[in-house]
Amino acid sequence: MSTVTEQAPSNEVDMILDTVLKNEATRTIQKTGRRWSPVIEKVILALICTVCFFIRLFAVIRYESVIHEFDPYFNYRTTEYLTREGFYEFWNWFDNGSWYPLGRVIGQTLYPGLMTTSAVFHGVLNFFGICVNIRNVCVFMAPVFSAFTAIAAYLLTKEVTGRPEAGLFSAIFLGICPSYLSRSVAGSYDNEAVAIFALTNTFYVFVKAVNTGSMLWSMLAAVAYFYMVASWGGYVFITNTVSIYVFALLILGKFNKRHYVAYTVFYIIGTMFCLNIPFVNFQAITSSEHMASHGMFIVSSVYMLVGYLRKVLPEGAFAVMGKLMVAAAALGFVGLFAYLTLTGKTAWSGRSMTLLDPTYASKYIPIIASVSEHQPTSWSNYVMDLHCLPFLAPIGMYYCMRRLSDGSLFLGVYGILAVYFSGVMIRLLLVLAPAASCLAGVGASVVASSVMPYLRSFNDHVEGPGAKKSGGGSKLPYMPRFMALAILGVLGYQCTNYIKHCVFTSSMAYSSPSIVMSYQLRDGTRLIQDDFREAYYWLRMNTPQDSKILSWWDYGYQITVMGNRTVLVDNNTWNNTHIATVGLVLASTEENALPILRRLDVDYVLVLYGGVSQYSGDDINKFLWPIRIGAGVYPDLVQESDFIGPQGYRVDQSATPRMKSSVMYKLCYHRAAEISRGYDAARGQQIGVPDVKPKYFDEVFTSENWIVRIYKVKDPANRGTKAKSKTNVKRGYQSRFADDVDALFMASPKSAQKGFEEVPVEEPLHHIRITLTSRNVKALEKVCSELMTGAHDNELTVAGPVRMPTKVLKITTRKSPNGEGTNTWDRFEMRIHKRFIDLQATPKVVKEITSIFIEPGVDVEVTIAQS
């Protein structure tokens, strides 16, 4: 505490401050404030929480209670399923409405924390008689948790510094931080909605455990960590931050029993919790992202054992024993890591490799590089998303490193790591936001508390910890009073501007749902473009329920939820080959794409075109990414260089022939010249082929502003010819067998590419074997019964159904998201039941028999013996 020596007021500033600060009313307020400070502190925190909630409601006020973006629609769908069917069904849910014909095991391939939290909130509200739709719970989940995050930031900063005012600064900074707002406005129902609270809360409880050395707090830290693991894949940041913090303590020689108890309990229980999340499972043991935690556990244990042996062994014996133990531990860990790496049992994921080498994704995994939030961060992003925090945070960092307590060292390590990783990916600005807010809160608190003593007195000199005394005890000048007032004024001005900036970004930048677009006309009128929901509603109401929709993966979740139709790929991006196949279709000519579409049972193709409405996020602008991803799997069929001419990537007359003949180009620009006079407003170019017309696609829907366009893949009969017969034609799950019995005579890929020349069709009797396969034995028996009944009614020669042995598939590995490394599933079995029926009939009769049923989940294979 600085010692202040009173002097007479020397100028007008001193006189004004004397009048304001030295009168009786001010003193009474100060005394009352000090007496009621705990209550005032809680009231201010409650007001901050209220602000955090209401600043996120602009989207609801301006539009309606609607889910934003793409991933939140999948989260909403799974949450709705969880509340309707229960946790057991959710945990074992196999979804055959996505990733056709592969399907997806939902409960085993996601982080369930967000959905479970929403279901609990929904259940509690209904228990108390507050009937709320689950959609509204999802919409308001992020604003509610933003208040919890502000409280967690307050507790963390207060625990680190012991300053309540620093905690309050941190709470308001983080609660309304634009970087955090971008993923937590009303309707932003993504994992980050609860994960940032989980991250901040885990750090707070862990620092509390370190400061107290309590096993109870360490166990609570492990529980908080478990919630983070269940909520977001970013939990590995916590894992490695804590490990690096322990390493820093060891290097600085500050590691003691308190740290050992806190870390070992946290590590052991936390790792055991990780094993119970199916999507993580044994990755917590084998993945490279967790190796640092294993290594620090071994090193810290050896360190404590060496310290114990130093006390109980003679000096000579200890020296030998200590060296042997350290060498054995080091060699053991290095050997284990080398073994796991060389045998392929551990590997860095693609995202982790991108953090270590920012060029990795663009070189080897283009699907990761194609995501906008995985791009490197620019300086403008820091200004937009953090505003004044980068200027206050270094002050807080200096204070933490100068003080260097256990808590301040942890906050410093967290800040340094977050700054580095945020520079690699824009998305990780979200991880930097709590660190920057807490450090900025410390910095603002230090600045304010340092200058306030000079405003309460008339001095220009101060004696403090840094002041030096000369011979007669004279004091060196420290800070003029008007300068202290100026510093406080600048701090207040910046904090005010920060609040205004946060309100602006929340209102204008982050509260516009991507599914509903809004523009302001010159006369101030607001124009709403609702093309996406219009198109998805058309799909729901005007297409058969078992229709298969091909689109780029960005729109998969929305089509599944709002269109209620089966998609080939979606935003989960777990199978790179399947996504590359979609990219190949869009980049191919119609003749080459058609056999692939028929093999995948595609009924409709959906594309986005912004050339009329100036929508820049359409498929033409992102077309290079489907090409690159397709080229990564099919390099002999598609290459990026085929679509880039001498003048670059163009859509006008200078576009390459391959570009003009691609499915994407034709579906986007078909009839566009009729509306825009041959001009593409999104790219500012004339359309290269204004009269383009697809040969094998029928336009069935174009939205009001021409943003969403849907085409139906023509059936063989609608292409004007009969097709050659083909044996052993397979249909995938949910096949419309009766509608596609003509597939028995569908063209082979070669004949398809030649235009489906007309071939006379005869109607002799054929020996036909119908093989039925399904995971659902009841559905299988039902279909067999209906087939047999139909065959007997038509007096056909029929034998069966013959029961084949049940095949049990034990699935122990799978690809992780984006094809990165492998994960493991234990105790997961798939039973495949098979029946076959032999009969003699014509295809026409078979069609009549099979037209009476459509059974989801039954795979039908028809084999025709050559007559």
Lowest mean pLDDT among 180-184, 505-509, 519-523, 574-578: 519-523
**543 SS3 class:** coil
Tokens of 106: 């939902």
pLDDT recorded at residue 797: 75
Label residue 866 by pLDDT band (50, 70, 90). Answer: low
Label residue 403 by pLDDT band (50, 70, 90). Answer: confident
Among 190-194, 422-426, 456-460, top mean pLDDT goes to 190-194
pLDDT in tens, 364-393: 666 666 666 767 888 888 999 999 999 999
Mean pLDDT of 175-200: 94
Mean pLDDT of 319-333: 76
Per the CB < 8 A criterion, the answer to whether 102 and 586 are in contact is no
Per the CB < 8 A criterion, the answer to whether 143 and 185 are in contact is yes
pLDDT recorded at residue 777: 77
With a cut of 90, say whether residue 727 has pLDDT above it. no
Closest CA to 200 of 441, 414, 425, 502: 414
What percentage of the chain has pLDDT greater than the value 90?
50
**864 SS3 class:** strand
Per the CB < 8 A criterion, the answer to whether 694 and 718 are in contact is no
What percentage of the chain has pLDDT greater than the value 70?
80
Pairing of strands 766-774, 858-864: antiparallel
pLDDT in tens, 515-525: 888 877 777 77
How does DSSP assign 733-761, residue by residue? TT--TGGGGGGGGPPPHHHHHTT------
Lowest mean pLDDT among 442-451, 687-696, 718-727, 840-849: 718-727
Token match 């196949």: residue? 581
Pairing of strands 548-550, 604-608: parallel
Residue 521 CA, chain-centre distance (Å), reads: 34
pLDDT recorded at residue 255: 93
**524 SS3 class:** coil
Question: How far apart are alpha carbons 511 and 183 in whole angstroms?
Answer: 10
Closest CA to 155 of 398, 407, 418, 403: 407
CA dihedral over 338, 341, 345, 349, signed as positive or negative = positive
Per the CB < 8 A criterion, the answer to whether 515 and 533 are in contact is yes
Counting other chains too, the contacts that 478-483 makes at CB distance below 8 Å and 24 or more residues apart are 479/451, 479/454, 481/13, 481/14, 481/17, 481/454, 481/455, 482/11, 482/13
pLDDT recorded at residue 573: 83
Question: How far apart are alpha carbons 503 and 499 in whole angstroms?
Answer: 6
State the average pLDDT for the chain: 82
Token match 């680190």: residue? 160
Question: How far apart are alpha carbons 287 and 281 in whole angstroms?
Answer: 10
Mean pLDDT of 760-785: 72
> What separation in angstroms does the CA of 46 have from each of 49, 53, 175, 216, 711?
5, 11, 12, 28, 53
pLDDT recorded at residue 369: 62
pLDDT in tens, 46-93: 999 999 999 999 999 988 888 988 889 999 999 999 999 999 999 989
Tell me the one-letter amino acid at 610: G
Report how far apart the first and last C-alpha atoms of the chain are (Å, whole number). 102
pLDDT recorded at residue 737: 32
Mean pLDDT of 222-251: 94
**852 SS3 class:** coil
Closest CA to 561 of 531, 592, 539: 539
Tell me the one-letter amino acid at 359: T
pLDDT recorded at residue 306: 82
Per the CB < 8 A criterion, the answer to whether 579 and 629 are in contact is yes
Closest CA to 434 of 217, 241, 213, 211: 241
Residues 6+ apart with CB under 8 A from 798: 788, 791, 792, 837, 838, 839
Lowest mean pLDDT among 472-476, 589-593, 849-853: 472-476
Lowest mean pLDDT among 108-117, 235-244, 463-472: 463-472
pLDDT recorded at residue 360: 62
Lowest mean pLDDT among 75-84, 218-227, 728-737: 728-737
> What separation in angstroms does the CA of 412 have from each of 31, 245, 440?
35, 9, 12
pLDDT in tens, 124-156: 999 999 999 999 999 999 999 999 999 999 999
Query: Which backbone phi and psi does 803 adopt, to 5 degrees?
Result: -85, 125
pLDDT recorded at residue 846: 64
Pairing of strands 807-810, 829-841: antiparallel
With a cut of 50, say whether residue 470 has pLDDT above it. no
pLDDT in tens, 416-451: 999 998 988 888 899 999 999 999 999 999 999 888
With a cut of 60, say whether residue 715 has pLDDT above it. yes
pLDDT recorded at residue 480: 75
CA dihedral over 345, 346, 349, 353, signed as positive or negative = negative
Q: What domains, with CATH codes, occur in the chain? A: 528-714 (3.40.50.12610), 729-864 (3.30.70.600)
With a cut of 80, say whether residue 583 has pLDDT above it. yes
pLDDT recorded at residue 372: 64
pLDDT in tens, 249-306: 999 999 999 999 999 999 999 999 999 998 888 888 888 888 889 989 988 998 888 8
Residue 645, classified by CB atoms within 10 Å of its CB into exposed (0-12), middle (13-18) or buried (19+), is middle
Tokens of 21: 């600060």
pLDDT in tens, 668-710: 999 998 888 889 999 999 999 988 999 999 999 999 999 999 9
Closest CA to 780 of 741, 807, 815, 759: 807
pLDDT recorded at residue 410: 96
Mean pLDDT of 88-116: 90
Label residue 815 by pLDDT band (50, 70, 90). Answer: very low
Tokens of 486: 């100026």
Lowest mean pLDDT among 31-40, 227-236, 614-623, 661-670: 31-40
- Tell whether pTM > 0.85: no
Question: How far apart are alpha carbons 754 and 752 in whole angstroms?
Answer: 5
pLDDT recorded at residue 201: 97
Mean pLDDT of 654-669: 94
> 858 or 9: whose pLDDT is higher?
858
Lowest mean pLDDT among 396-410, 642-656, 761-775: 761-775
Label residue 473 by pLDDT band (50, 70, 90). Answer: very low
pLDDT in tens, 542-560: 999 999 999 999 999 999 9
Mean pLDDT of 204-216: 95
With a cut of 70, say whether residue 748 has pLDDT above it. no
Question: How far apart are alpha carbons 353 and 360 in whole angstroms?
Answer: 6
